[in-house]
Homo-oligomer: A and B are copies of this chain.
Amino acid sequence: MTRDRRIILHVLGEASIPLTAEDILERVNASQPGMALSTVYRTLDELISRSSVQRTLLSNDGHAFFELMGSVHRHYMVCLGCHRMFPFSSCPVGDFADSAAEELNFEVTDHSLVLYGYCRHCRLGRQSQGSE
């Protein structure tokens, strides 16, 4: 409905990986300077409540990440060197979750899976230098 909501959805649509609120603000301001960070958060809340956007759980470092509510089920590998995120769509959790949950009489509605490690580029750096 509103202009800002449209802009933020567009930014999230362009991104292939989850963004932080600051990331979003930065990209919005690149084309439409002037938006406040609080507007980003408020709009994200709105979009989350409409199930257009979801927060994703990617690190414990205090940042929240946001992405369009997935048409496709995806997970990410997060590089501990450069902190880039690499999406992948295969997922071993589905059936497993159901059977693991059954033992506890638990009803699983969702899950989060993140692989941590080093991307191709950062592996090279680590091999040749021994440290970052």
Whether A105 and B90, one on each chain, are in contact in the complex, defined by CB atoms closer than 8 angstroms, is no
Stretch touching chain B among A6-14, A21-29, A32-40, A116-124 = A116-124
The residue in chain B whose Cβ has the minimal distance to the Cβ of A55 is B60
Interface set, chain A 92-132, CB cutoff 8 A to B: 92-93, 96-97, 100-101, 103-120, 123
In the assembly, what is the distance between CA of A60 and CA of B114, in Å? Answer: 14
B115 touches A108 (CB 8 A): yes
Question: How many copies altogether?
Answer: 2
| Candidates B57, B92, B97, B113; contact of A60 at CB < 8 Å | B57
Q: How far is the CA of A106 from the CA of B60 in the complex (A)?
A: 21
**Contact call B88/A104, Cβ cutoff below 8 A:** yes
Judging by beta carbons under 8 Å apart, are A109 and B118 in contact?
Answer: yes
Contact of A117 among B86, B88, B110, B116 (CB under 8 A): B110
Q: Which of A44-69 contact B (CB under 8 A)?
A: 55-57, 59-60, 64
Given contacts A60-B64, A111-B113, 5 further A-B contacts (CB under 8 A): A88-B103, A93-B113, A97-B115, A101-B115, A111-B115
